[in-house]
Structure 1
Amino acid sequence: MLLRLSAALLTVLSGIVVPSPVAAAAPTGRLQQELDGMVRDVGVPGALMTVAGRTTVTLRSGTGDVRTGRPVPPNGLVRVGSTTKAFVATVALQLVGEGRIRLDAPVERYLPGVVRGRGGDGRAITVRQLLQHTSGLPDPGTLLPQGREWADQRFRHHDRDELIRYALTLEPASGPWSYTNTGYLLLGKLIEQVTGAPSWRDEVRRRIVRPLGLRHTYSPGPREYRIRGAHPRGYIEAPGFIDVTEQDTGHMDAAGDMVSTPAEIDRFFGALLRGRLLRPAELAEMRRMVPAEGAVDEYGLGLETNHLSCGDLVGHSGQMHGYSMLAGVLVDRGGRPGPAFALSITTEPADMDDFRRVMRVAEAALCPS
């Protein structure tokens, strides 16, 4: 749901430009206007964005706190929602490269007896299908309340196994592709089983966060409700503004509980698409796309593709109550990676029209001519 701000409350803030060696993007003034226009047109409280090209451009718009009018902190920390899936998929594919996981092996091999129920059977579902949302597993989202009821209960903890068990009581999803958090909840569990790590989070830290120097990227601990650093506040409309910045995100787990900044998400996707995290064979598997639905044009193994006029935005979007992210790298028609882009808004798009308006910012940033 989207929040509607009055003109008096909407304070537009100027951008910051920091030099950095990578590839060109749109002129800063025009891009700031596009970001301001999106904040105004969609009615989001605030937005923050980083584009890492030949220069790194960091912009912000709106307000970081509806109550106080405090500005959006530049490159503040945000909940990245399902952008987490790209981190988890990268770890899984590193394990494929190490010979510890086989993409086309049944899930039952790694999680014996776990996936058995009305919603699916791990003996007939492969690891690839978990990564690609082609498993047919139902999503557990109907277990959770929505809107104001969810806001009132947002500190209630739902653990991963509870959600997996619930999903398996539901009817399987229909169609060849169906987005489901259940697959990534299982992947977190599978990573733990294969590596012996106490949590999938340990493997994400060891394999991605520390090597890339992502100092502000983390997965909250049990019942850790607050965001650790400077951040804009996040909202839902139910109706009226409800501040849901502090919440229990345990129900998202490996499907979407991470926190980061736009700049660090840019660094992650830039490293991933340039082959710094995966060997060529595993990166090629990750980028092998199938047709998707809704706000995603195509989906690979933990990577989304959305088509732009000058190429494809290849990365992963994310939504978490109070925050939404659009992120990835521009890949040109020849398959070459260019600038990285990450945009976070402090609520969730209400419909496809709002999502298309957000996508216009990516188009302006990455395809300026």
Structure 2
Amino acid sequence: MPEVTIYSCRISAALVAVLGVVVAGAAAVAPPVAASNSTGRLQQELDAMVRDVGVPGALLTVTGRTAVTLRSGTGDVRTGRPVPSNGLVRIGSTTKAFVATVVLQLVGEGRVRLDAPVEEYLPGVVRGRGGDGRTITVRQLLQHTSGLPDPGPLLPHGREWADQRFRHHDRDELIHGALALEPAPGPWSYTNTGYLLLGKLIEQVTGTPSWRDEVQHRIVRPLGLRHTYSPDPRAYRIRGPHPRGYIKAPGLVDVTEQDTSHMDAAGDMISTPAEIDRFFGALLRGRLLRPAELAEMRHMVPAGGAVDQYGLGLELNHLSCGDLVGHAGQMHGYSMLAGVLVDRSGRPGSALALAVTTEPADMNDFQRVMRVAETALCSPSSSATL
């Protein structure tokens, strides 16, 4: 598949002031490759998003009839080095799509039933004020309709988290701590607790030491995803070339190295935008699941916040030309928007993965990121259709 790689280093004046670095104009660190008008327009949109949202760097891959990789900003605010063209990033909750795929493969093998109570697989584990595994099903864990509280209130945030980012968290303690909280209100409530439990369920059903082994065996290796992995939580560094990740605390704090045990199966994986494109492309085209399980995965319910609808480990967000079906993710220092454009007939098309090196501050920032996806996938001369 032909590939075009473009790099642009445009940093807003406000960001320059924060970083304490001098950038002369909007000079590119590397000479750009000649590109089509549609790719040029997409590069402009990516540069504008970096400037408007105030993120240090961004890396975008769109995989259609051609593969296009675009970069903007800087990969390291201290040195000013460029974003690596296929840099590894922490993908946060995009991990959930991998975990859900493994669970649905187990469903297809007859080893897990979607509408069975969680108690059947994890006896005695889900008991507390926040929920009861005897009445919560596997489907509800996958779809965030279990009502289980999120462990977020148990964890530090902002600068306090940055100062404690090498602290190790025990998964069972997080689950039990969350179960002591009040149940989440409403029919749909996003909760990492459900996916912490699903990681545990995979281990119980398969007998493997870690859910990570099943993700590697069932998804990563068959698809040849050489740069996609779930790290040992105490392996703080990202292996391979990567942009550095930052939180605004206020000002930018480099949190690239961190212990990821607080996320576990809810969001600790590392990958590249190109490999995330490959994963979602394979998933939505039926290469990882049988038709029955893929249909279950794509059965959506109304969601909330930045998500229009949610399936079994899949998010759906509306675009003008169809729906972006995949899963976004945030992990301290990084944020990802990823999925496949599905047209009105339900047919999958081009894949997109956009990583930025900090987390959107609010819905306005998220919508600004979504505009990049709209330009990439829906403009009349979209790069995705080259």
The answer to whether the superposition gives a TM-score over 0.5 is: yes
Q: Say whether 1:262 aligns with 2:270.
A: no
8 Å Cα contact 1:12/1:63 also seen in 2: no
Q: What are the superposed Cα offsets for residues 200-250 of structure 1, whole Å, 9 maximum, x if unpaired?
A: 000000000000000000001140100001000000011111000000001
The match for 2:105 is 94
Q: Say whether 1:202 aligns with 2:213.
A: yes
1:14 Cα deviation after fit: 6.7
How does 1:263-278 map onto structure 2 within 5 Å? 263-278=274-289
1:105 Cα deviation after fit: 0.2
Distance 1:17 1:161 in 2: 50
The match for 2:15 is 5
Do the aligned partners of residues 114 and 40 (structure 1) sit closer, same or farther apart at CA in structure 2, a change above 3 Å counting?
A: same
How does 1:144-223 map onto structure 2 within 5 Å? 144-223=155-234
1:17 Cα deviation after fit: 7.5
What percent of counterpart residues are identical? 84
Q: What are the superposed Cα offsets for residues 317-366 of structure 1, whole Å, 9 maximum, x if unpaired?
A: 00000000000000000100000000000000000000000000000000
The match for 1:75 is 86
* Structure 1 residue matching 2:259: 3-state secondary structure: coil
8 Å Cα contact 1:90/1:277 also seen in 2: yes
- Equivalent residue letter for 1:231: H
* Structure 2 residue matching 1:6: 3-state secondary structure: helix
TM-score (norm 2): 0.91
1:4 Cα deviation after fit: 5.4
The match for 1:358 is 369
1:11 Cα deviation after fit: 6.3
* Structure 1 residue matching 2:352: 3-state secondary structure: strand
Distance 2:264 2:232 in 1: 10
Distance 1:183 1:26 in 2: 44
Do the aligned partners of residues 119 and 157 (structure 1) sit closer, same or farther apart at CA in structure 2, a change above 3 Å counting?
A: same
Distance 1:40 1:241 in 2: 15
* Structure 1 residue matching 2:318: 3-state secondary structure: strand
How does 1:1-369 map onto structure 2 within 5 Å? 5-6=15-16, 8-9=22-23, 27-369=38-380
* Structure 1 residue matching 2:222: 3-state secondary structure: coil
TM-score (norm 1): 0.95
8 Å Cα contact 1:12/1:36 also seen in 2: no
Q: What are the superposed Cα offsets for residues 51-89 of structure 1, whole Å, 9 maximum, x if unpaired?
A: 000100001000000111111001200000000000000
- Equivalent residue letter for 2:157: Q
* Structure 2 residue matching 1:48: 3-state secondary structure: strand
* Structure 2 residue matching 1:233: 3-state secondary structure: coil
Give structure 1 regions of 4+ aligned residues with deviation exceeding 2 angstroms. Answer: 6-19
- Equivalent residue letter for 1:328: G
The match for 1:22 is none
Distance 2:30 2:315 in 1: 30
Distance 1:293 1:198 in 2: 34
Distance 1:163 1:134 in 2: 19
Q: CA RMSD in A?
A: 1.8
Distance 2:252 2:282 in 1: 37
- Structure 1's unaligned 5+ residue stretches are 20-24
Paired positions, count? 362
1:159 Cα deviation after fit: 1.7
1:162 Cα deviation after fit: 1.1
Distance 1:284 1:309 in 2: 23
Distance 1:107 1:217 in 2: 29
- Structure 2's unaligned 5+ residue stretches are 1-12, 381-386
Do the aligned partners of residues 140 and 17 (structure 1) sit closer, same or farther apart at CA in structure 2, a change above 3 Å counting?
A: farther
Q: Which moved more, 1:193-202 or 1:7-16?
A: 7-16
